[in-house]
Amino acid sequence: MAPTRPTNRQLVECVAAHMDVDAEAVSLAPIPSGKFNDSYYVLAGGTEYVLRIAPSRNAVFCFYEREMMRQEPYIHQVLLERTTVPVARIFVFDDSHRIMPRDFLIMERLPGIAMSELTHVDEAAVLRQVGRALAQTHAQKGNRYGYVGAHHPMEPQNSWAEAFHIMWRKLVDDVVSVGYYEDEERTLMVSTLDKYMRLFDRPVEASLLHMDVWAQNILVEGSNRLTGLLDWDRALWGDPEIEFAVLDYCGISKQPFWEGYGGSRDESDEARVRNFFYLLYEMQKYIVIRHGRDHDDHGAMAHKRQVMQIMRRIQQIT
């Protein structure tokens, strides 16, 4: 049974209770592009906000998705204080479940429209700005690796190799838990990474990574001005190469992006192998999502077949 969506009364109470306005002065409109959270445009006392409601705790998650909204206030604070990356101010984060049995936040509404919704956009100009924004993001450094936020899906590690090894195994086990890897396939996924772990054991700083940059999370005003990067709840601290793999998968890492980013990409054989694993890390999550949240077994199996095709390519590498 699908989780019950919040009632309009609950949504209004979320805003009224925190923003010091009467319930009668609150109006809401669903944001149809939201995939993970339930999101709403809010007008309260003449001011515009965005209200985001986390999924029910009974939903099917990848290991790092459970309660991941909890890390967003800190991530936004870091970016607002140290960069010019266009992120919203978060006014409220409420995990008390006093009003509804879900975490929620109330944030500034940024100008612009999702790039995915635009019929005309100067893609090159926007991607250059996205590149500059991610360069600033990656310049933010931590002292531990992995998912280190308040949602605490794993123990932070002292090296990227240790963190990725844990992340990989946890995600593989998520796929096992929804019935898409047999024991032999799980062994293949784990042992193949183990074979190449030496390529990950290298000095790399713990950079702040967004991990979900695609057209829907890019706000554009007019046709060419970046006004927002959205949905930082999947953020982690580690190797920018894993971010690059996500950008490849989402069609963002085109030449204008790299012009804006301003850094060169490692094109070595070792980096190419790491990129295969990073791409697989991104792709495996969709097996869980398609099966557990979209109830799309056909889509889940299609992603599994793609994963196994890439695994066969890795096994051919000497």
Domain parsing of the chain, residue ranges: 8-109, 114-315
Contact (Cβ atoms closer than 8 angstroms) between residue 168 and residue 282: no
Q: Rounded to 5 degrees, what angle do the CA atoms 275, 278, 279 make? A: 85
- Say how far apart CA 75 and CA 231 lie, in whole Å: 10
In a 13 Å sphere around the CA of 306, the CA atoms on its Cβ side amount to: 18
Q: Give yes or no for a contact between 69 and 62, defined as CB atoms under 8 angstroms apart.
A: no
Determine the pLDDT at residue 280. 98
Helix, coil or strand: residue 91: strand
**Is residue 153 predicted with pLDDT exceeding 80?**
yes
Residue range 203-227: mean pLDDT, rounded: 97
What pLDDT digit, counting tens, does each position of 253-300 carry?
A: 999 999 999 988 999 999 999 999 999 999 999 999 999 888 899 999
The architecture of the domain spanning 114-315 is Alpha-Beta Complex (3.90)
User: Given a cut of 70, is residue 179 above it in pLDDT?
Assistant: yes
The answer, yes or no, to whether residue 171 has pLDDT greater than 70, is: yes
Give the residue-averaged pLDDT of 47-56.
94
Fold of 8-109: Phosphorylase Kinase; domain 1 (3.30.200)
Q: In the predicted model, what is the mean pLDDT of residues 174-200? A: 96
b/e per residue 224-245 (b: at least 16 CB within 10 A): eebbbbbbbbbbbbbbbbbbbb
Overall residue count recorded for the chain in this entry? 318
Centre a 10 Å sphere on the Cβ of residue 270 and count the other Cβ atoms it contains: 13
Read off the pLDDT band of 233 (50, 70, 90): very high
What mean pLDDT is predicted for residues 181-186?
Answer: 96
| pLDDT value, residue 1 | 44
Stated as kind and residue range, the H or E segment containing 184 is: helix 183-196
Q: For residues 304 and 185, is the Cβ–Cβ distance under 8 A?
A: no
pTM above 0.85, yes or no: yes
Tell me 198's DSSP state: G
Instruction: Give the separation between CA 259 and CA 127, rounded to whole angstroms.
Output: 9
